[in-house]
Structure 1
Amino acid sequence: MGLDELTDDVEAAYVDTDEETTASLDRETRHELAMLSAAFETDEVDELLRRAVHLLFQTTVDRGTLDFHLRQGYDVTYDEYLSGMTYDEMTGQDQYPQRDDERRYQM
């Protein structure tokens, strides 16, 4: 997989989540959500869920976990996704053909 596949998968997931998402919560998650709701003095659970997603995303980016999973699944990093090109494309390393060391010195 590569950058194009990642872009396609992100766009497809974006469309899927654009529709109203409902999540079933277990007892522990409901308790934690209730605690956060009380602490932040808000009745809007949607806002807390948005904050949670932002925090999880930022944490995975900061720790390198997102790049690890993207590299495993798509062979790209988040920076490559944002720029729209791989590091090899950025540095020009993919412009030159691979050296054939066996035929290098043949005349």
Structure 2
Amino acid sequence: MGLDKLEADLGDAYGDLDDEVTVELDRETRNELAMLAAAFDADRDELIRRGVHALFRASVDTGDLDFNLRQGFDVTYDEYLAGMTYDEMTGRDQYPQRDDERRYQM
């Protein structure tokens, strides 16, 4: 797991997306989309794009994205954006682990 796995999976998912995505809508979603289209005077493609952006932003703001990334890839969104883990940023992974049992022996 880690950044390399996340980047590979992200690349695969991005490659799997076509320019046009077809989604079946249930009755509730169809009604909500129709209401939004009427209220905002926007076409459905624009509303769906806005919906994806809103879901992404909400998941970042609430920490849901980080929670799922940490579970699946052991990284956070900030680590992904930085291209390195917190341990790499702080240098904590550069030093060997201390042997506390032998630390004070002479």
TM-score of the aligned structures, taking structure 1 as reference length: 0.91
Moved more, 13-22 or 97-106: 97-106
* Uncovered stretches (5+) of structure 1, i.e. residues with no partner: none
The answer for the alignment partner of 1:84 in structure 2 is 83
Distance 2:6 2:66 in 1: 12
Tell me which residue corresponds to 1:97.
96
Instruction: Identify the residue that residue 25 of structure 1 maps to in structure 2.
Output: 25
Matches of 2:51 and 2:17 in 1, distance apart?
A: 16
Deviation of 1:106 after TM superposition, in Å, equals: 5.4
1:65 aligned residue: 64
- Deviation for aligned residue 1:94: 0.6
CA RMSD of superposed structures (Å):
1.4
Confirm whether residue 45 of structure 1 aligns to residue 10 of structure 2. Answer: no
Secondary structure in structure 2 of the residue aligned to 1:93: coil
Q: Which amino acid aligns with 1:28?
A: E
Cα deviation, residue 15, structure 1: 1.1
| Counterparts of 1:61 and 1:101, CA distance in 2 | 39
Percent identity, aligned pairs only, is: 72
**Any stretches of 5+ residues in structure 2 without a counterpart?**
none
Structure 1 counterpart of 2:44, one-letter code: V
Give the structure-2-normalised TM-score: 0.92
For 2:102 and 2:21, locate their aligned partners in 1 and report how far apart those are by CA, in whole Å.
58
Report the Cα distance in structure 2 between the residues aligned to 1:91 and 1:63, rounded to whole angstroms: 25
Q: Give the superposition deviation at 1:105.
A: 4.8
Partner Cα separation in structure 2 for residue 66 and residue 35 of structure 1: 28
Aligned length: 106
